[in-house]
Amino acid sequence: MTVSSGSPGWYLRRLSRMGPREVGGRVDDTARRRRWRSAPPACPDVTGARFTAVLPAGAAAAVPPDAVKRLVAEADRLMAGHAEYFGVARDDLADPDWWYDPKTGRRAPDGYAFDVPYRDEEAVGDVKQIWELSRHHHLTVLAAAYAVTGNERYAERVAEHLRSWWAANAPLRGVHWTSGIELGIRLLSWVWVRRLLDGWPGAAGLFEDNPVALRQIWHHQRWLAAFPSRGSSANNHAVAEAAGQFAAACAFGWFPSSARWRADALRSLDQHLRSNTFGSGLNRELASEYHGLVLELGLAAVAEADTAGVPVPATVRLVLLRMTDALAAVVDDRLRPPRQGDADDGHGLVVDGAGTDRWASLLATGDALFGRLGWWPEVTGTDVRTPLLAALVRHTAPAVARPASRPAHFADAGMT
């Protein structure tokens, strides 16, 4: 029998899989949500904020010309208002409605975030369609186009969209404040937007000198600190939450709680990378798309750590190394991993144009950070993300034994 998400049977099945600690944590979450309805947390005053997590000189110039060409073509398509999400074309992105679902034509309702029935498509629409645009991957693409071309029209569109989004999505209001993975990925996007816009004269006025931006960043981080994914939900969502929180606490470390949020997020990232990954390096959810998502998030988090001079546990780099070697082992001769498990097309950090191969990009980054092994497949394509991450990350592979030949069997994951 199929049990639909959000139905009484679905909740009962979820409850049966929870231990006492998780149940207790969720009870606390419910109480906090009720308390925040009438007494939401207040953002502290911030003065003298500065953004220092910039790209090294020459990093953008190191992006290969063909990758630049694809990026600019994608940015120009976005500037014209066009994009596609999960097979649904949109032509309204010049000035988008952040709560609109183009698939059903519905618009999510306003109200206190935790009252929004986001699992009810009749009331909200397809929430994945609504959420995807607000992960702001299109803004990291536009910001990257500015970084490689210096054309300010890309930066100006980014600023327009961020100001529009912040105005439409006040803290704790509406559908975009209901899911931790969305807040985490959005924070990571904002870090990279600020980094990629660093040469633009309006960058500081958009972020660190902007009280609205400061309030949004603080509330995103306060939310993630208060409502972590727990127990039976601690999968790739928990990795995204920790990576986004850590990235923001490193790059936007302007608040009294930043040091604590940074330490807690790093501890959570280390824990969830290990718990989500078999010793062989394959993702425990046995879904290739999630393997890619978690690897992207982990690599981006390490880049923030190294940029900020924050030491990370050796286990973080070790898991990412094993994930990279495992990916190299399971892709076919066209660099495609097995089609298995859930595939929601989720990405951690997007700075490339259409036509860039996701898996080739991850292997290229792995080569730049850890060094390729002789049995790895050849990667012939280029991308934007690899040279940018490589410019930030300390290039030291963990001192561990790596497979001398391509593994043909992953016993812990049951894969041959």
Number of helices and strands in the chain (H, E):
16, 2
DSSP 250-310: HHT--STTHHHHHHHHHHHHHHHHHHTB-TTS-BTT--HHHHHHHHHHHHHHHHHHHHHT-
How far apart are the C-alpha atoms of 281 and 159, rounded to whole Å? Answer: 39
Kindly state the average pLDDT of the residues 59-81.
Answer: 99
Is the pLDDT at 21 greater than 70? The verdict is no
Q: What is the pLDDT of residue 27?
A: 85
Question: Is the sign of the CA dihedral 11, 17, 20, 23 positive or negative?
Answer: negative
How far apart are the C-alpha atoms of 122 and 39, rounded to whole Å? Answer: 30
| Angle between helix 180-196 and helix 288-308 axes, rounded to 10 deg | 50
Kindly state the average pLDDT of the residues 27-33.
Answer: 90
Quote the percentage of the chain above a pLDDT of 90. 87
SS3 call for 173: strand
Q: What is the pLDDT of residue 293?
A: 97
Give the H/E segment covering residue 145. Answer: helix 137-149
210's CB contacts (< 8 A; 6+ apart) are: none
Kindly state the average pLDDT of the residues 136-158.
Answer: 99
Lowest mean pLDDT among 34-38, 297-301, 361-365: 34-38
Kindly state the average pLDDT of the residues 404-411.
Answer: 96
Give the H/E segment covering residue 84. Answer: strand 83-85
The answer to whether the CB of 78 falls within 8 A of the CB of 141 is yes
Confidence of residue 16 (pLDDT cuts 50, 70, 90): low
pLDDT tens-digit profile of 157-178? 999 999 999 999 999 999 999 9
How far apart are the C-alpha atoms of 405 and 376, rounded to whole Å? Answer: 9
Q: What are phi and psi for residue 187, nearest 5 degrees?
A: -60, -45
How far apart are the C-alpha atoms of 132 and 143, rounded to whole Å? Answer: 18
pTM: 0.94
**Residue of higher predicted confidence among 374 and 232:** 374
Is the pLDDT at 10 greater than 60? The verdict is no
SS3 call for 83: strand
The answer to whether the CB of 135 falls within 8 A of the CB of 189 is yes
Confidence of residue 195 (pLDDT cuts 50, 70, 90): very high
The answer to whether the CB of 184 falls within 8 A of the CB of 244 is yes
Q: What is the pLDDT of residue 12?
A: 64
Is the pLDDT at 45 greater than 90? The verdict is yes
Lowest mean pLDDT among 19-23, 201-205, 314-318, 401-405: 19-23
233's CB contacts (< 8 A; 6+ apart) are: none
How far apart are the C-alpha atoms of 125 and 108, rounded to whole Å? Answer: 7
In the chain, domain spans:
49-392
Q: What is the pLDDT of residue 343?
A: 76
301's CB contacts (< 8 A; 6+ apart) are: 242, 243, 246, 247, 269, 312, 316
Q: What is the pLDDT of residue 1?
A: 47
The answer to whether the CB of 134 falls within 8 A of the CB of 183 is no
Across the chain, mean pLDDT equals: 94
The CATH superfamily holding the domain 49-392 is: Chondroitin AC/alginate lyase (1.50.10.100)
**Residue of higher predicted confidence among 6 and 343:** 343
Q: What is the pLDDT of residue 330?
A: 98
Cβ–Cβ contacts within 10 Å for residue 241, how many?
30
How far apart are the C-alpha atoms of 300 and 186, rounded to whole Å? Answer: 13
Q: What is the pLDDT of residue 4?
A: 57
Kindly state the average pLDDT of the residues 251-278.
Answer: 98
Is the pLDDT at 85 greater than 50? The verdict is yes
Residue found under tokens 């975009």: 176
Kindly state the average pLDDT of the residues 84-105.
Answer: 97
